[in-house]
Amino acid sequence: MAEVFLISEPLLTEEIVDGPRAGCMKIMRDLVLSVNGETCIIPADFDTDYTSWPSFLPRPRWSRMIVAGVCHDYFYRYARLGKNGRQLGYSESNKLWRIIAGAGHNNKMSLGFAWRWLGWSGLAAGGWIQWKKYRNAAGN
């Protein structure tokens, strides 16, 4: 069974109001998680749209997938398990979204089984477009 623990203070963000990323959120302090025993650091100043939820699917309460969405955005953009983390591939990035989305510290902050698998299926089916965009931009 997967284990995910929040090591840092809870996620703190601020809305970006100007520029090409207006409407997205900026992480105000490092978000640090332990994911299956590996430390994952999403650094302060990283910008995110939060969800990583496929737009063609019905959406659950977004508050239940914020941390998973922030991490997944980072995984896709940098193909790493957080700052200074090991390299990640496309499939593992999507799997980690599903694991983190289900790892709330209580049932109010995690997605249920069906929502996690629905989101993961959508990411697996359509996320490759965004993944490829980021990999091309990074020269990989």
Query: 0.85 cut: is pTM over it?
Result: yes
Give CA–CA dist 52/66, Å, rounded: 9
Tens-digit pLDDT string for the chain (140 aa): 578 888 888 888 999 999 988 888 999 999 999 988 899 999 999 999 876 777 777 766 666 788 888 999 999 999 999 888 999 999 999 999 999 888 865 555 678 888 889 889 988 888 888 899 999 998 87
Bridge partners, residue 39, by sequence: 34
